[in-house]
Structure 1
Amino acid sequence: MNFLVIFFGIVLLFIIWLILDFCLGRQKHHSSVRKMETPILHGDFDIFTHGKELFHDYFSVLREAERHIHVLFYIVKDDVFSQEFLSILKEKARTGVEVRLLLDRLGSWKVKGAAIKELRAAGVEFAFSNPVKLPYLFYSMQVRNHRKISIIDGRIGYLGGFNIGKEYIDEDPSLGPWRDYHLKIGSESVNFLQSEFLMDWERCTGVDLQGVAKYFPKLPKGDVRQQFIPTEANQLECMFISLIQLAEKSITIGTPYFIPSRKIFAELQKAVQRGVCLTIIVPSVSDHILVKEASFRYLRTLLREGALVYQYNKGFYHAKTIVIDDKVADIGTANFDKRSLFLNQEINCYIYDPNFIDRIKDILDKDIHDSTRLTLEQLNKPNLARSMKEAVAGVVSYFL
C-alpha cells in the first residue's frame, strides 16, 4: 500500500512538473518573439514536387558554389543519401568555400559526433539549433526549428518541405513515392532568406554576421510578387486566419497533418457557411502515429458542412500549401497542425503572382486526380480501433 502511495505521488509530481515546465516555458517564449515579414518582393521562382528532381538540381548548385553555402534543415538522416549531402559540403569547404550547416537538435539526432567531427575537420562551420536546455526541459524539447532553407553564394535559395534522407528520394518502400513542394528562388528575394538564416545562426551560436556585405550581393528584381513570413510561438495562427478570411470563392489546403486550432477551425467553418469551396488534400498513409486519426474529428465536421476531402494515394503526401481564390498561394515549411501553429519555428512564402498561382493550382489538380475522395460514410462507419485512436489523438493533438 505504501509503495502504491509513493508511486502515484511520484507520478502526480511528474505530471505537475510537466505542466508547469510547459506553461512557464511557453510564457517566456511568447514574451520574447517579435513579428517579422518582408515587404512585397519580386523574385524568380521554380517549384519541385519530386525529390529526385529537386536534389539533382540542389546538389548541382551546391557543387558549383564559389563563395558560401548556408544550409538549415530540420532533418538530416544517417543513410547513404545523407552521407552524399554531407560529403558535398565537406568537399566544398576543403576548396575554400565557406560552408555553414545548422540542423535542428532533435530532428537531426541521427547526425552523430563522428560525422560532426569530420565536417568540422573539413572546414564546415556546424551548429545544432534548439538544444534541449534548462530551466524548461520539456518545453524546449517541443520547440523545434522546422525551417528548411538553403542559400548559395547569396544568389540562389531553396525553401520547402523536403529534408535530407532516403525517404525523400523515394527509397523508403513503406511510404512509397514522396510528394512534396519545394521552391527554388532567385533575384532580390534571396536576400531575406539569407538574413533569416543568419538570425537563426546568431541565435544558436552567438555570432552576428548580418553586417557581412558579401552575403548580400545587389540582386535584380524578378517577376513573381511575394513575401516571406517567418513565425514561431503563436504567430502562424493569426497568419492562417487572415488567409482564410480573404477567401471569396475557394480555399485549397494541402498538408500531411490536418490538426487545426480551435480558432482556425471556426474560421474554416465560417468560410464554408458563406459559400466558399473548401478542398483539403491529406495523405492516405501516415508517417507518424495518431496524426491521421487526430484529423478525423475535424474532417468529419467539415465534410458534414460540405467541404471536399481527398486522400492522396500515390505515395506519401507531405506538401504544405494553402491557395486562396486566385489571390495568394502559401508554400513553406509549416504544416496545418498545432505543432507548426504554436511550437515550431517556420517560414512560409506568400505568392501573389497570378501566373505562378495558376502553376501551383495545376499541381494541386494533379494531386487531387491522384487521390481518393473521403466520404462522411467512411468516417462514420463503426471501427473500434479507429475510435480508440481518435480519442487518444484528441488528448495529445497539441504535440502531434
Structure 2
Amino acid sequence: MLYFFGAFIILLFLIFIDYYFGRIHHLKHVKKHSFPVRHSDITIFTSGPLLFEKMLADISEAQHHIHMLFYIFRNDEFGMKVLRLLEEKAKEGVRVRVLIDIVGSHRFPRRLMKEMSLKGVEIEYCHTPSFPFFFFHLQNRNHRKITVIDGKIGYLGGFNIGNEYIDLHQRLSPWRDCHVRFTGEGVWDLQLQFLTDWTEATWRGPEENERELYYPALAQGRVEHQFFAFEGDCWEDKVVEMISSAKRKIIIGSPYFIPSKRAFAAILDAVKLGVEVVLILPEMSDHPLIQEASYRFLRRLIRLNCCSVYRYREGFYHAKVFVIDDDICSVGTANFDNRSFYFNHELNSMFRDPGMVIEMLEIAEMDLSKSTKLTADMLRHRNFVGVLKELFAILLSPLL
C-alpha cells in the first residue's frame, strides 16, 4: 500500500512539473493576434436548428472554398449529414477544409477522415498532445468554432456539430446557445484565424497567388465590432478589464462558472461599487462536478445584495455572453472558467454597437424569464455525498 501511495505522489509531482513548465513554455511562444475594429452585418442565432438551416444553405451556395473549425465534430446523424453536403461540394470543385480538436472530437474515427479525404474533403486534427509537456498539451485545446464560406460569410459562436446541437439529445434539449453570422469586412479576420490554425496544424497554408480568393474585397457593414483571439493567455485580462469598466450592470451568461481569483475579485469589487451583477447558468450539467466546483463562488455572490444568480431551466444553457451596461457586449467561444482563462484557444467578438447590445439584452431578458433564481438553501448539501463531491470538485477545479 505504501508503495502505491508513493508512486501516486510521484505521479502527481511529475504532472505538476509538466503543467508548470509547459505553461511557461507555451506563454513564451504564444502568437499574438491583433485584429482591427471592423464593421459587419450580423445575425444572431440562439437556436441550433435555425442556425444550421442557414449555415448549410450558405454552404450549399459555396463556389470556391468552405472552411470549418470545431472543437466537437461528431460522426452521428447530424455530423454525417454535414459531411455528405461537404462531399457534394468537393465534387463540384469547392475546396473543403475541416479542422477538429483531437480531444474534443476524439470519437471522430480516423478511417472516416481518410475516407473523406479520398472524396476531396480535407479533415485534420489540431492540438495533438506531444512531448515534452504532454499533460499541459493535453489540456491546451482549440475551443474555437469558426466557419468561413468563400471568404464572404463567416460564423462564430458556441455551437458544435452533433445531434445535441440541433435538439436531438434526450436530456439536453433544447440546446440554448449563441452564434453569430457575419458578412462584411469582419469575415477577413475569421478567415485569418482559421488559416492560421490550419497552417499550424497541417503545415499546409494556401498559396500566395490564391490570396485574393480567400480574402475578397468586402464592404463595410453596419455593426462595429472587434475580434480577440485568446490562447490561454489574455481572456482573464479582457474579463477583468470589462468588469472594471462597468458602471451600472453586468450580465454574464456561461455554461460553466469557475472564475479565476482575479476575475472573481473583479466581480466582488464591482458589487462593492454598487454595480448590479446578473449570472445566467444552466440548471442541468453536461459534465460531472462542474456545478459543484461553482458552489463556493455562488454562495458568496448570493449573499451580496447587488448580485443575482439564475439557473436556466428549459434545456441546456451553453451560451457565452457578456454585457456591460448598455455599452458593450461579447459573444464567442470563451467560457467563464479556468479552462478558457488558462488553457483553451478561444475567439470572441466585442461589440460596441447600441443595436447589438439592445438585442443581447433582450435575449438575456428572455433567458431570465425561463430561469429560476438561485437561493442559498438550494446550494445546501442534503447528505455527506454532496459534501464529498464538492470537495473533490474544488481539488479538480484548476482543470475544470
1:327 to 2:324 alignment: no
- Summarize the alignment of residues 36-115 of structure 1 with structure 2, pairs less than 5 Å apart: 36-115=33-112
- The Cα offsets for residues 49-83 of structure 1, whole Å up to 9 and x where unpaired, read as 01100111111111110110011000011211110
**9-18 or 224-233: bigger deviation:** 9-18
Q: Structure 1 pair 305/383, CA: closer, same or farther in 2 (3 Å)?
A: farther
Contact 2:113 2:124 in 1 (8 A): no
Residues 75 and 108 of structure 1 are in contact (CA less than 8 Å); yes or no, is this contact kept in structure 2? yes
**Residue deviations 1:318-367, cap 9 Å, x none?**
00010000111000001100001100000001011001110111011000
Structure 1 residues not aligned, in runs of 5+: none
Q: How does 1:1-400 map to 2 (within 5 A)?
A: 4-209=1-206, 211=208, 212-306=211-305, 307-380=307-380, 382-400=382-400
Equivalent-residue separation in structure 2 for 1:232 and 1:133 (angstroms) = 17
Counterpart amino acid of residue 57 in structure 1: K
Give the stretch that moved more between structures: 120-129 or 310-319.
120-129
Q: Distance in 2 between matches of 1:383 and 1:351?
A: 45
Give the aligned residue type for 2:331: I
List, as ranges, runs of 4+ consecutive aligned residues in structure 1 with deviation greater than 4 Å: none
Cα distance, 1:37 vs structure 2: 3.0
Shift of 1:255: 0.4
Task: Tell me the alpha carbon deviations over residues 70-107 of structure 1, each in whole angstroms, 9 at most, x when there is no partner.
Answer: 11000011211110111111111111000111000111
Aligned with 2:171: secondary structure? coil
SS in 1 for 2:255: coil
1:86-130 deviations in whole A, cap 9, x for unaligned?
A: 111111111100011100011111110221012101112221110
Per-residue CA distance 1:116-164 (angstroms, 9 max, x = gap): 0121011122211100111111111101000000000000000000001
User: SS at the partner of 2:395?
Assistant: helix
Asked if the contact 2:381–2:387 (Cα under 8 Å) also holds between the matched residues in 1, the reply is no
Give the drift of 1:17. 1.5
Aligned residue pair count: 397
Q: State the SS of the aligned residue for 2:258.
A: coil
TM-score by length of 1: 0.97
Question: TM-score, normalised to structure 2's length?
Answer: 0.97
Q: CA RMSD in A?
A: 1.2
Letter in 2 for 1:319: A
Percent identity reads: 42
